[in-house]
A and B are shown apart, each in its own frame.
Chain A
Amino acid sequence: MTDTLTPVLTAHWDQPDLFTIDGYKRVGGWQALPKALGMTRDEVITLVKNAGLRGRGGAGFATGVKWGFLPKGDDKPHYLVVNADESEPGACKDIPLMMANPHLLIEGAAIASYAIGAGHAFIYVRGEVLHVIRRLRNAVQEARAAGYIGQNVLGSGFDVDIIIHAGAGAYICGEETALLDSLEGKRGLPRNKPPFPAVAGVYSLPTNVNNVESIATVPSMLMNGADWFAGIGTEKSKGFGIFNLSGHVTTPGTYEAPLGITLRELLELSDGMRGGHRLKFWTAGGSSAGILTDQHLDMPMDFESVAAAGSGLGTRSVMIFDETTCVVGAVLRWTEFYQHESCGKCTPCREGTFWLVRILERLEHGQGTEEDVEKMLDVCDNITGRAFCALGDSATPPITSAVKYFRDEFIQHHKEGGCPFDPAASTVWAEGLGGSGGSSPRGPAGSET
Chain B
Amino acid sequence: MPFSDDVRARLDVDADQIIGKYPGARSALLPLLHLVQAEEGYVSEDGIGYCAGKLGLTETDVTGVVSFYTMYKRGPVGKYHVGVCTNTVCGVLGGYQILAELREHLGGVDDDEATPDGQVSLEHLECNAACVYAPVVMVNWEFFDNMTPQSARQLTDDLRAGNNVTPSRGPDRLVTWREAARILAGFNDGLATEGPTAGPADLVGLKIAQEHDWTAPEPDRKVSDKAGEQAKEPR
Contact = CB atoms under 8 A, between A and B. Distances in A.
Q: Do A and B come from one complex?
A: yes
Most buried by A among B87, B89, B145: B89
Contact of A170 (B34, B69, B83, B87): B69
Given A255-B204, A437-B201, A89 B87 contact: yes
A275 interface: no
Given A137-B188, A224-B219, A423-B92, 19 more contacts: A1-B229, A89-B127, A92-B133, A96-B198, A99-B197, A120-B23, A127-B71, A130-B140, A165-B31, A167-B69, A169-B69, A185-B27, A186-B26, A251-B201, A253-B204, A255-B204, A255-B205, A429-B94, A437-B201
20 contacts: A3-B214, A6-B216, A7-B216, A17-B197, A19-B193, A77-B23, A89-B127, A129-B128, A130-B170, A131-B191, A163-B21, A170-B68, A185-B29, A231-B222, A243-B205, A246-B89, A246-B131, A251-B201, A427-B97, A429-B148
Contacts of A363: none
Interface in B183-229: 183-186, 188-189, 191-193, 195-209, 212, 214-217, 219, 222-223, 225-226, 229
Interface in A170-221: 170-171, 182-188, 202-203, 220
A115 interface: no
Contacts of A156: none
Contact of B22 (A20, A100, A163, A232): A163
A169 to B, nearest CB: 4
Interface in A67-84: 77
A185 B72 contact: no
Contact of B170 (A6, A13, A131, A255): A131
Interface of B: 21-24, 26-31, 33-34, 55, 64-65, 68-72, 83, 86-89, 91-94, 96-97, 125-135, 138, 140-143, 145-146, 148, 167, 169-171, 175, 180, 183-186, 188-189, 191-193, 195-209, 212, 214-217, 219, 222-223, 225-226, 229, 235
A270 B204 contact: yes
A169 B65 contact: no
A428 to B, nearest CB: 5
Contacts of A89: 87-89, 126-127, 131
Given A18-B197, A134-B191, A185-B26, A247 B126 contact: no
B89 A14 contact: no
A1 B217 CA distance: 9
Given A129-B128, A130-B142, A4 B214 contact: yes
Given A89-B89, A187-B65, A253-B202, A232 B216 contact: yes
A94 B128 CA distance: 11
A254 B202 contact: yes
A334 interface: yes
A277 B159 CA distance: 37
Given A5-B209, A87-B126, A437 B197 contact: no
A295 interface: no
A90 interface: yes
Interface residues of A, number: 113
A286 to B, nearest CB: 9
B51 to A, nearest CB: 9
B87 A92 contact: no
A337 interface: yes
A130 B197 contact: no
Contacts of A438: 132, 199-204
Contacts of B219: 223-225, 227-228
Given A7-B216, A100-B202, A128 B132 contact: no
B211 to A, nearest CB: 8
A337 B87 contact: yes
A234 to B, nearest CB: 9
A278 B193 CA distance: 42
B128 A5 contact: no
Interface in A312-341: 317, 319, 321, 325, 329-330, 333-334, 337, 340-341
B192 A137 contact: yes
Contacts of A169: 69-72
A129 B89 CA distance: 19
B34 A131 contact: no
Contacts of B200: 437-439
A129 B132 contact: no
Nearest to B28: A185
A319 B89 contact: yes
Given A120-B23, A333-B87, A442 B197 contact: no
Given A130-B184, A131-B170, A166 B30 contact: yes
A96 B97 contact: no
A186 B57 CA distance: 11
Interface in A294-310: none
Contact of A436 (B146, B207, B223, B225): B146
Contact of B93 (A163, A329, A426): A426
Nearest to B72: A168
